[in-house]
Homo-oligomer: A and B are copies of this chain.
Amino acid sequence: MPKSRSAPRLADVAARAGVSIATASRSLAGREGVSEAVAAHVREVALGMGYVANVHARTLAGGATSTVGLIVHEIGDPYFAEIASGVIDVAAQRGLTVQICHSARDPRTELHQIRTLIAHRTDAIVVAGSGYTEPELQAESNAVLTAFQETGGRVAVIGRHHLTADAVRPDNEAAGAAVTAHLLALGHRRIGVLAGPAVLTTVADRIAGVAAALEAHGMTLDDVPVLHTDFTRNGGHAGTEQLLAEHPDLTALIALNDAMAIGVLSELRSRGVPVPGRISVAGVDDVAVAADLAPSLTTVRLPMTEMGEMALTMALKPPTARRRRKNTGHELIVRDSTGPAPA
């Protein structure tokens, strides 16, 4: 790290301005108890010297910290990139900086990253990756985060986690139900579901939504093939191949996120299968490019950027006795990738 020899310190500013470091500190922090004239002078001197307070010293001394942590599965995934964008903007607005870590969809890595963030004494931690259906997988993370909160740390999660913290809850079940209902309304009955790992609550919840919509039409989940693969483009790609091999008569494919849906469309196109003429395709999330695919993708919009904003805003609020919970909205976006079931 920088051998801070030579980086101007508060003491240097104080000396140059001819005041004590206490006065300098107050002036720079804009705190009470300094004559405006002196304060202005100090600020000017500091500016002239290019003084920037050492965040570590400030934090250690009990001043406000200034960083928050964000854990995503993978920032290259547009879903998380959009959430991150929201988090970063809210943070910047409040003079905070964001540390981003990858959990790589692995609970052990997630735990490790949580520990890292805690070591950095971030003011708050936002866990944006999906939760896990098995509580044991997050038990240790929960213990660590609970301890963190007991010492004054703030935590917010996005999604359904087995973590004791405030939460932003995407309408996953409603989203799953919405696409399914849409397809059913179009007359589809032979529907295939491409799902991510069953261990993710996001996947489980969306499937629950699918089931609910099916039941409203007198069907059950047993009537539709559900394939669990990676929650990525490749998962959608490979899954389509397998699903169609086993069920060549499917007329619609639901991908439980847009990344998978993109893989589905790609696979279908390379096979020359008309969409939606022969098979309709729908996703969930409404990532930015969904509208630009061809055919444009029917999906359910989840407000990712806003979810990031909400999560950090929530985390930064004074804690309440009870955990807060905030549901997102969702909106079915019908585009060109879905159409009536072929006769």
Q: Which residues on A are within 8 Å of B, measured CB to CB?
A: 1-7, 50, 52-57, 59-60, 62-67, 74-78, 81-82, 84-85, 88-89, 92, 97-102, 115-121, 123, 143-144, 147-148, 150-153, 233, 262, 265-266, 269, 288-289, 291-295, 305
Rounded to whole Å, the gap between the CB of A336 and the closest CB of chain B is 10
B81 adjacent to A92 (CB under 8 Å): no
A151 adjacent to B88 (CB under 8 Å): no
B67 adjacent to A76 (CB under 8 Å): no
With A6-B147, A75-B84 known, 10 other A-B pairs at CB within 8 A are: A1-B123, A6-B151, A7-B151, A52-B115, A54-B119, A55-B56, A55-B119, A75-B88, A85-B102, A233-B288
User: Given the known A-B contacts A6-B150, A148-B2, are A53 and B292 also in contact in the complex, defined by CB atoms under 8 Å?
Assistant: no
* Partner among B5, B101, B151, B292 whose Cβ is within 8 Å of the Cβ of A293: B292
List 5 tightest A-B contacts by C-beta distance, closest first.
A294-B294, A1-B65, A76-B85, A2-B152, A81-B81
Closest to A261 in B: B292
Closest to A86 in B: B76
B101 adjacent to A99 (CB under 8 Å): no
Among A4, A65, A98, A120, find the residue whose CB has the most chain B CB atoms closer than 10 A: A120
* Partner among B50, B77, B147, B294 whose Cβ is within 8 Å of the Cβ of A295: B294
User: Given the known A-B contacts A52-B119, A99-B98, are A85 and B92 also in contact in the complex, defined by CB atoms under 8 Å?
Assistant: no
Residues of B within 8 A of A294 (CB): 269, 293-295
Cα–Cα distance between A52 and B116 once the two chains are bound (Å)? 8
B292 adjacent to A262 (CB under 8 Å): yes
Residues of B within 8 A of A123 (CB): 1-2
Residues of B within 8 A of A289 (CB): 262, 289, 292-293
Closest to A265 in B: B292
B97 adjacent to A99 (CB under 8 Å): yes
A85 adjacent to B75 (CB under 8 Å): yes
Identify 21 residue pairs between A and B in the complex whose beta-carbon atoms are under 8 Å apart, listed by A's number. Answer: A1-B62, A1-B153, A4-B152, A7-B151, A50-B143, A50-B147, A54-B60, A55-B56, A55-B119, A55-B120, A56-B65, A57-B60, A67-B99, A75-B88, A76-B78, A76-B81, A76-B82, A99-B99, A100-B100, A262-B292, A289-B292
A75 adjacent to B64 (CB under 8 Å): no
Cα–Cα distance between A277 and B128 once the two chains are bound (Å)? 44
A85 adjacent to B74 (CB under 8 Å): yes
User: Given the known A-B contacts A123-B1, A265-B292, A292-B293, are A97 and B116 also in contact in the complex, defined by CB atoms under 8 Å?
Assistant: yes
